[in-house]
């Protein structure tokens, strides 16, 4: 929707610093086929985020990174971002494989490698697997 791209870019940069080109690819992987990014929309959105001091680049070059002001804004807009993701991410049908969903999850978590406690991630995954198993049992009843 109009005006949502800057917020989505900000959320992506909160996960890791990236170049405009990397962000284009990430958008393509994350939102295709519902949204196909173009340089003509992504780069102006990044420029606007820089003007608003929500993102920055080291010495005007290199990857974009979120600022503390950008993080605060993202926190304030978290519900809007969740609505965007709920609306744009395809929901798997009962016959579809969960593999694309799991691949997106793995890609997002992999970006945090080395910055999170591996044992804590294992506990979270075990809890999630149990919750999904419980869903399967409740759906059969």
Judgement on whether residues 16 and 64 belong to the same structural domain of the protein: yes
Using alpha carbons, list the distances in angstroms from residue 29 to 71, 91, 128, 138. 23, 15, 24, 32
The total of structural domains in the chain comes to: 2
Q: For residue range 75-110, list pLDDT tens digits in order.
A: 999 888 888 777 776 555 555 667 777 777 777 777
- CA 38 to CA 5: how far, in whole Å? 11
Query: Is 45's pLDDT higher than 80?
Result: yes
Asked whether residue 93 is assigned to any structural domain, the reply reads: no
CATH number of residue 75's parent domain: 1.10.10.10
Q: Give the three-class secondary structure for 126.
A: helix
According to DSSP, the β-strands at 64-66 and 55-57 are: antiparallel
Q: How confident is the model at residue 63 (pLDDT cuts 50, 70, 90)?
A: very high
Of 50, 75, 55, 78, give the one whose Cα is nearest residue 65: 55
Region 56-64: mean pLDDT is 85
Cβ(26)–Cβ(18) below 8 Å? yes
Same domain, yes or no: 15 and 82? yes
Range of the structural domain that residue 105 is part of: 99-140
Q: What is the pLDDT of residue 94?
A: 54
């Amino acid at each position: 929707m109009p005006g949502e791209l800057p917020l989505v870019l900000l959320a992506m940069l909160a996960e890791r610093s990236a170049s405009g080109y990397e962000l284009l690819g990430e958008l393509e992987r994350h939102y295709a086929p519902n949204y196909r990014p173009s340089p003509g929309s992504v780069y102006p959105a990044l420029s606007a985020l820089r003007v608003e001091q929500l993102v920055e680049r080291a010495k005007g070059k290199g990857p974009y990174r979120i600022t503390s002001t950008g993080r605060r804004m993202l926190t304030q807009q978290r519900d809007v971002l969740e609505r965007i993701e709920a609306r744009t991410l395809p929901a798997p049908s009962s016959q579809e494989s969960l593999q694309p969903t799991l691949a997106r999850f793995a890609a997002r978590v992999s970006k945090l490698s080395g910055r999170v406690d591996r044992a804590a991630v294992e506990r979270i995954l075990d809890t999630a697997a149990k919750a999904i198993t419980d869903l399967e049992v409740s759906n059969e009843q």
